[in-house]
Amino acid sequence: MNPSEEITAKARQWLLEPFDETTRAEVKDLIDHHPDELTECFYKNLEFGTGGLRGIMGVGTNRMNIYTVGMATQGLCNYLKRNFAGQSEIKVAVAYDSRNNSRLFAETVAGIFAANGVKVYLFESLRPTPELSYAVRRYNCRSGVVVTASHNPKEYNGYKAYWEDGAQVIPPHDKAIIEEVGKTAIESVKFNGPKELITVIGKETDEAYTDMIAGLTLSPESIRRQHDLKIVYTPIHGSGVELVPMALAKKGFTNIYHIPEQDVSDGNFPTVKSPNPEESAALNLAVQKAKETDADIVMGTDPDADRVGIAVKNDGGEWLLLNGNQAAAILVYYLVKRWGELGKLKGKEYIVKTIVTTELLAEIATHSKVPCYDVLTGFKWIADVLRRNEGKATFIGGGEESYGYLCSDAVRDKDAVMSCSYFAEIAAWAKDQGKTLFDVLLDIYLQYGFYKEGGISVVKTGKSGAEEIVAMMTRYRTNPPKSINGSPVVRITDYAQQISADLKTGKTTPVELPKSDVLQFFTEDGSKISVRPSGTEPKIKYYISVKEILPSVADYDKVNRILEGKIKQVAKEFSE
């Protein structure tokens, strides 16, 4: 299929200045020999969204390259200069992960900021995304950029923008930046600024960051007694390779097993199909090492080290990959319990979770009279609560079901370096009592109820599919289910209409969160089903959470099967 005249004309602009010779040659080759690929590269502009840029690397307006990155940076720069007009100096921090071209893009970003008179703190080599968040605050920056595509496939790279509090941008700044980037032409991008405006940072920031994490320790005596806890850690070819072991060592852990082939920083991620610790296959080599060494815990971080996957041995000695809800429950349980035991709960502490994360976190918090904030999906909304509570209340910890957690407001994004440090500490604390992390999970289920989560995605492709998804959400609103899996629906929360309705009393209460196309159904038996269209793919997503009482540890397998059956039935009802 030949590209349209409009696409071809757009591509021909890339045969001229300011595009470099290599880019021009690649575009000419596409025009002459690869019409289908030419269309994919130029049929639209790579969108700068609320999370920044993310896309396949290559030439063209719909690809990640120094020019699309350049226009994004110039647009961000224009907004910063307007927003902070009159200030003597604007500073930004820039970091990057192990992906192909990440260093090139980061140096391009730094050069553009410098060319616009902005002072830049550029990390000397790859660093975790949470350390970028920490650096923004440490160096009193107005913004920050990290070049990463998180756990996407190797063909991708991305660009995330941060605000002066170290969090990803939210309204009103996000939309204003998007607007500024949208009107930025390649001819207006100022490349290659003066080197004296770029300060290279590294070891000193690493030391401060990991010292901060070490200072969060709640059970130093347990760590001293269990310092030789057997920990298997893999960065999965990513940026956690130095910082996670450094943080663990500062905690006092002395027995860390590595996967040498995965300690190699490589954007091709050669040992895994996907560098996503949410997928069990990504931790296969680490679990294999754990079996060989009879380890106590396995931890694996994604390329930019903001998410962590945890594997533990169950009561049968088999290795089990915890899901994000289970890991979050263990973390929050430990934090709240230890804060209480240490007399740190003064009545002004809180935790935060996202609306699709397990209600078990809220149950744990409520039991200890600790407020639990619910926020929309996305860690920037957790950071927003931290921002609004600054100086008024103390953040204990929190997280989301997608393997992201945080335990200090010194960082304003999910932090796998900090999380690895804490999960190792919890394992040591548990072992000090003759328990495993799986035993801790069972303790939680016994005390608060056995919560189990699952999910489905229903794909609806094309224009008709998009229309069908809209129709489905409308149908759920106008004719909601009266019962789910035989249990009456007792409450419906609509985040688009910002109303939560108690179906027993008829009373409605306002939802004080930004509007979002999400519906939640709560049933009498404690189930929660969240429904939302995906913002990036042609699908509608269902998050299913079910609950049962766990009478005793001996009942675990039986109750687990009951919960699995519930999830299967709920999924069937919503996919029909």
Residues with Cβ within 8 Å of residue 407, at least 6 apart in sequence = 216, 331, 335, 396, 397, 415, 418, 419, 422
79 within domain boundaries? yes
Give the C-alpha separation, 201 to 119, whole Å. 13
pLDDT at 76 (0 to 100): 97
Q: Can you read off the two tokens belonging to residue 276?
A: 């996503």
Q: How many Cα neighbours within 13 Å face the side chain of 211? A: 6
61 within domain boundaries? yes
Give the C-alpha separation, 23 to 17, whole Å. 10
Q: What is the mean pLDDT of the chain?
A: 96
Domain count, the chain: 3
- 342 and 262 in one domain? yes
Q: Can you read off the two tokens belonging to residue 517?
A: 């196309």
Give the C-alpha separation, 162 to 259, whole Å. 32
29 within domain boundaries? no
Residue 208 predicted with pLDDT over 90? yes
Domain that holds residue 332: 215-448
Residues with Cβ within 8 Å of residue 287, at least 6 apart in sequence = 232, 298, 311, 319
- 433 and 305 in one domain? yes
pLDDT tens digits along 479-525: 999 999 999 999 999 999 999 999 999 999 999 999 999 999 999 99
519: closest CA among 503, 539, 540? 540
Residue 56 predicted with pLDDT over 80? yes
167 within domain boundaries? yes
- 186 and 265 in one domain? no
- 181 and 56 in one domain? yes
CA-based radius of gyration for the chain:
24
17 within domain boundaries? no
Q: What is the mean pLDDT of residues 81-97?
A: 95
Give the C-alpha separation, 174 to 204, whole Å. 31
Give the C-alpha separation, 503 to 516, whole Å. 21
User: What CATH number is given to the structural domain containing 91?
Assistant: 3.40.120.10
pLDDT at 463 (0 to 100): 76
Q: pTM for this one?
A: 0.95
- 456 and 565 in one domain? yes
pLDDT at 460 (0 to 100): 84
485 φ/ψ sector (left φ>0, alpha ψ -120 to 50, else beta): left
Give the C-alpha separation, 248 to 6, whole Å. 55
Give the C-alpha separation, 268 to 251, whole Å. 32
pLDDT tens digits along 391-415: 999 999 999 999 999 999 999 999 9
pLDDT at 535 (0 to 100): 67
150, 171, 201: which is the final residue of a domain? Answer: 201
Residue 87 CB neighbour total at 10 angstroms = 11
- 250 and 144 in one domain? no
Strands 308-313 and 528-533: unpaired
Paired strand residues for 200: 122
Q: What is the largest CA-CA distance in the chain?
A: 72
Is the separation of the CB atoms in 530 and 356 below 8 Å? yes
421, 448, 475: which is the final residue of a domain? Answer: 448
423, 448, 473: which is the final residue of a domain? Answer: 448
- Provide the annotated active-site residues: 150
Is the separation of the CB atoms in 46 and 64 below 8 Å? yes
Surface-to-core class of residue 205, CB atoms within 10 Å of its CB (0-12 exposed, 13-18 middle, 19+ buried): buried
**Cα 498 to chain center, whole Å?**
25
Q: What is the mean pLDDT of residues 226-242?
A: 98
Quick one: pLDDT band at residue 536, thresholds 50, 70, 90? Answer: low
Q: What is the mean pLDDT of residues 330-353?
A: 98
- 174 and 261 in one domain? no
Residue 72 predicted with pLDDT over 80? yes
Give the C-alpha separation, 158 to 144, whole Å. 14
Give the C-alpha separation, 263 to 271, whole Å. 11
- 220 and 193 in one domain? no
331 within domain boundaries? yes
- 314 and 227 in one domain? yes
pLDDT tens digits along 156-176: 999 999 999 999 999 999 999
pLDDT at 3 (0 to 100): 80
Give the C-alpha separation, 63 to 54, whole Å. 9
User: What CATH number is given to the structural domain containing 562?
Assistant: 3.30.310.50
30 within domain boundaries? no
Residues with Cβ within 8 Å of residue 558, at least 6 apart in sequence = none
- 156 and 77 in one domain? yes
Quick one: pLDDT band at residue 1, thresholds 50, 70, 90? Answer: low
- 246 and 395 in one domain? yes
Quick one: pLDDT band at residue 466, thresholds 50, 70, 90? Answer: confident
- 442 and 523 in one domain? no
pLDDT tens digits along 266-297: 999 999 999 999 999 999 999 999 999 999 99
461: closest CA among 539, 395, 567? 539
Q: What is each CA distance from 515 to 33, 78, 385, 497, 511, in whole angstroms?
A: 47, 28, 16, 7, 9
Is the separation of the CB atoms in 457 and 541 below 8 Å? yes
3-class secondary structure, 239: coil
Residue 39 predicted with pLDDT over 90? yes
15 within domain boundaries? no
